[in-house]
Structure 1
Amino acid sequence: MTGDVLLSVEDLTKDYPWGLLWLKHKRVLHGVSFSVSQGEITALLGHNGAGKSTTFKILMGFLRADGGRVLYRGEPLSRKARSCIGFLPENPAFYDYLTGRELLRFTAELFSLKRFEGRIDHLLRLVKMEEAANLPLKKYSKGMVQRIGVAQALVSNPELLILDEPLDGLDPEGRQILRNLIVDLKEEGKTVLYSTHILQDAERISDRAVILVKGKTVKEGRIEDLLGGETSEYEVSFKGLREAPPGAKGRWQLRGDTLYGILEKEEEVQPLVQECLRRGGQVLSLVPLRRTLEEIFMELKDESNGSRG
C-alpha cells in the first residue's frame, strides 16, 4: 500500500581503516537514519563525500555497517529481501561489446528468468531505448548508458529501485529524460530511492528528501513540509515608479518601466506598498517566494559546520 514504510535505515555507522598499516579508523557515517515509503520517490541529498554511496553499498550488502540496522518491511534486511531491490551504481561499467538488448538478456539469464523477451521489450520502451537496443554499448552516450542501466536494474521486476547519482554528468536533455523516467517508474508502482547533489531536480520530482551532511542525517521529510515551513522572501513589482522610496529595505531593480523589489521580512511589505501607492505607484504583483531545497541545504550545512567547529 502506498505510504507504508518499505525500508527503514536506523543509526547506521561506518568506519574505514586508514593511516600507517591501517591502524587508525575514520568514521564516514555518523548514525544515518531515514525511511522510504512504498510507492514514493525518495531523494538522498548531499555533497560529494557526504556518505550517500557508502549508505547504498551497505543497503546492497557490498559493505558491512559497523553499527545500526536496516529493516525491510519491518524485518532485518536479508539476502532474500535484497532480491526485491534493483540497483544502479554510480558510473556503471557494462560489457561494452554487448548491445543494449543483449545486456538485458544476460541479466535475465543471471536471474534464471524464463520467457523474458516480452519483459525486455517493455523495459526498452519504458526507458525509451527501442531504437538503440541493437547498438553496442560502446556507442552509447552517458545518458543512454544510464537509461539502459535502469532497465537492467528492473529486469527482475523489483519493488524497490536504488539509483546512485543517476543524473550526474548528464546534459540538460539527458537529465530531463531521466527525471521523467523516475516519475514513470513511480506511476508503474515502483518505489525509488536515489541519490543526487542536484537539488533542483530533487525538488521537482521527489516525494521525500533526506539530507546528509558529513555522514549524518540532518533533515528528513516530505518535500512540501521541508519547503512550506516558511516563506523566505517576498517579491513585489510596481508601475509608475523609477526607484524605491527613501529608506526602503530590500533589493531593488528597474527593468524597463517596472520596478521590482525583494523584501526579506513580512512586516516590511505593507508599509512599503502603502508608501509606493502614496507616491503614485501601481502594484502589479506581490508574491511570497518559497524556500528552495538549496537554501535549506546550505543552512543545514552551515549549522553543521558551526556545531563541529
Structure 2
Amino acid sequence: MQQEIVLEVKNLVKNFKGVQAVKSINLNLHKGEVLGLLGPNGSGKTTTLAMLLGILHPTSGSFSWFNNGTQDENRKRIGSLLETPNFYPYLNAYDNLKVVGIIKNVPNLQERINSVLEMVDLKERGKRPFRSYSLGMKQRLAVASALLSNPEVLVLDEPTNGLDPQGIAEMRQLIIDIAKEGKTIILASHILAEVQIICSHIVILREGEMVYNGSMERLLNQEQAFRLSAANMQQLEQALHSIPGISIAERTETDLLVTCNEKIDGSLINKRLAEQGIYLSELHAHQKNLETIFLEKLTK
C-alpha cells in the first residue's frame, strides 16, 4: 500500500542577490515520516523551511502541501518552531497559549491547552511566568504552541539549540513521543546522534544542493564495512590492495577499517586473504554512524 504524500517539492530554487542559496531541491514527504534536514551552517536548511512555510517566496520551482498547492489554508494543518521562543515574559504558560489559541481560533481551547502542556511536561509548572523558565522549558512551551491546533505536520528548526544534555534528552524524547502519535515531522538539527535516533528519513544539503535523500536505514547501510587485523598488518594492507571492490577507509595501530561493495562479505574477504597466506585474528562487521557518513557526504 502506497503511503500518502504530505509534501511534494519540485526543483525548488532560492537566490539572494545573485547567490543561489537553494539549488533545485526535489523530495516527497510521506505521512508518518520523520524527516531529518541536515547540513552545515549556510547549507540552505532554514531557507528551505522558510519557503515551505510561506515565509519566503521561491525564485523558481514549486511545492505542494497535502496535494493542495500553496494555499493559505494548508498552514492550519502545519505547526512550526523556526526561531527562539517568543512569548509574553510576564504571562504564564496557560495565558501565553491562550493568546496563541485565540489567534489560531483553536476549538475547545482550555482542554487543548491542558493536553499540550501535559504532553510537553509543563502542566505542573504552567502557572509560572514565562520569564522564570529555563531554556529547555521555553523550548518545550514553543513545541506546545506549535501543537496547539493539533496539526498533521510539525516543522522544527534546531529545537535543541542551546540546550544542556538534560534538555536535549528531554526534547529528543518529546519528539519521539509526538512521532508515535502518527504525526509527520520535519526536523532540522546539528546534533547528528539525536537525528539518527529520531528520524526515519534524511535529506543532506551542501551549499544549497541536495546530496542525499532517502531512508535512514539505506543511508547507514549503503556501504558494507569491516574491521580487520592480522599478525602482520603491513602484509594485510598490501594484500587488501589486490582484492577488487575493497577500499581501506581507516588505519590504526591494531586494525584496518575497510569498505566494500555489496558483492563482498566477510567470508569472501577471509577466503581471499587466506589464499595469500594471511590469516585474520579479527574480522567483524562495522556500521558507520550518521556523523561519519554526513562528513563524508560533505567532502565528496
TM-score with structure 1 setting the length:
0.82
What letter is aligned with 1:10? K
CA 79–130 in structure 1, closer or farther in 2 if over 3 Å, else same:
same
> Conserved in 1, the CA contact under 8 Å of 2:211 and 2:297?
yes
Distance in structure 1 (CA, Å) of the matches to 2:199 and 2:42: 22
| Whole-angstrom distance in 2 between the partners of 1:119 and 1:2 | 32
Q: Which residue of 1 aligns with 2:226?
A: 234
CA contact (8 A) 2:13 2:22 kept: yes
| 1:261 and 2:255 correspond | yes
Separation (CA, whole Å) in 2 of partners of 1:184 and 1:294: 24
Aligned residues: 279
2: CA distance between counterparts of 1:91 and 1:44? 18
2:299 matched to 1:302?
yes
Aligned residue runs from structure 1 range 1-309, under 5 A = 3-17=3-17, 25-231=18-224, 233-235=225-227, 247-249=235-237, 251-252=251-252, 261-265=255-259, 269=270, 271=273, 286-303=283-300
| Higher deviation after alignment, 38-47 or 243-252 | 243-252
Distance 2:208 2:234 in 1: 48
Residues 2 and 40 of structure 1 are in contact (CA less than 8 Å); yes or no, is this contact kept in structure 2?
no
| Counterparts of 1:294 and 1:269, CA distance in 2 | 29
RMSD: 2.5
Q: CA offsets per residue over residues 184-213 of structure 1, 9 Å max, x none?
A: 111112111111122221111101001111
Contact 2:106 2:148 in 1 (8 A): no
Q: Taking every aligned residue pair, what percent have the same amino acid on both sides?
A: 33
Aligned partners of 2:150 and 2:293: how far apart in 1? Answer: 35
Does structure 1 retain, via aligned residues, the 8 Å contact 2:35–2:199?
yes
CA distance in 2, matches of 1:2, 1:92: 37
Alpha carbons of structure 1 residues 79 and 170: separation in structure 2 relative to 1, 3 Å? same
Amino acid at match of 2:255: G
Q: Secondary structure at the match of 1:203?
A: helix
SS at match of 1:131: helix
- In the TM superposition, what whole-angstrom CA distance separates every residue of 1:97-118 from its partner, at most 9, and x where no partner exists? 2211211111111122343222
What is the alpha-carbon distance in structure 1 between the residues aligned to residue 39 and residue 251 of structure 2? 30
State the distance in 2 between where 1:245 and 1:44 align: 40
8 Å contact from structure 1 (residues 2, 39) kept in 2: no
- Structure 2 SS opposite 1:9: strand
What are structure 1's unaligned runs of at least 5 residues?
A: 18-24, 254-259, 304-309
Given that 2:120 and 2:144 are in contact with CA atoms closer than 8 Å, whether structure 1 keeps it comes out as yes
Q: How many Å apart are 1:80 and its aligned residue?
A: 0.5
Residue type matched to 1:290 in 2?
Answer: Q
The superposition leaves residues 53-94 of structure 1 with CA deviations (integer Å, 9 ceiling, x where unpaired) of 111111111111111111112231210111110011132322
Contact 2:236-2:278 within 8 A present in 1 as well: no
Query: Helix, strand or coil: the match of 2:255?
Result: strand
Q: Which residue of 2 aligns with 1:22?
A: none
Structure 2 unaligned residues grouped into runs of 5+: 238-249, 260-265
